Amino acid sequence: MKKNFLNKIYCVNSKAKLDYEIIDKYEAGVKLLGSEVKSIRNGGMTIKSAYVKIMTDFSIVLLNSRIRPYEMAKKNENYDPERTRNLLLNKNEILKIHQKVKTKGYSIVPIKVYNKNNFIKIEIALARGKKAYDKKEDLKKKDEINKARRAVKFQQY
């Protein structure tokens, strides 16, 4: 029997939408080891404190993400859980991202890790950091929307 991993989301960076204003999104592949893939499919990855950096040779790497070691892997297949992982993007996309980050001061933030056609993909975004007052306004709007939803729910019953 084959497990169905079709379009499953494994990990989400919930702080990204709170801390950053997302400008543009890109889908990238991730260069992983076999035991890392198994660990991700078991829910062993975190990207809350992770960030993406463009290196001098125009390769994009994911830093500070953690993939828990897979328990069932062979003893000689151990790896560093927080190693840098290469992201796979088209050269034109890398150049576009590099130019925007260089000129406008954007950051590159990982948003979510998911499965697409049995490949592990990561969604990265060009983002601009929010100020403290912007964060407060967003939280107020979110709270007002939740109050309105609760009021509508209460009236239905």
pLDDT at site 52: 92
The residue among 132 and 62 whose pLDDT is bigger is 62
What pTM value is reported for the model? 0.78
Model confidence over 66-101: pLDDT tens digits? 888 888 777 666 677 888 899 999 999 999 999 989
- Decide if pLDDT at 15 tops 90: no
Model confidence over 104-129: pLDDT tens digits? 878 899 999 999 988 999 999 998 88
Rounded Cα distance between 95 and 67, Å, is: 28
Rounded Cα distance between 119 and 140, Å, is: 38
Q: Are strands 60-63 and 85-88 parallel, antiparallel or unpaired?
A: antiparallel
Element at 50 (helix H, strand E): none
Q: Which domains does the chain show, CATH number per domain?
A: 9-130 (2.40.280.10)
Element at 46 (helix H, strand E): strand 45-46
pLDDT at site 62: 92
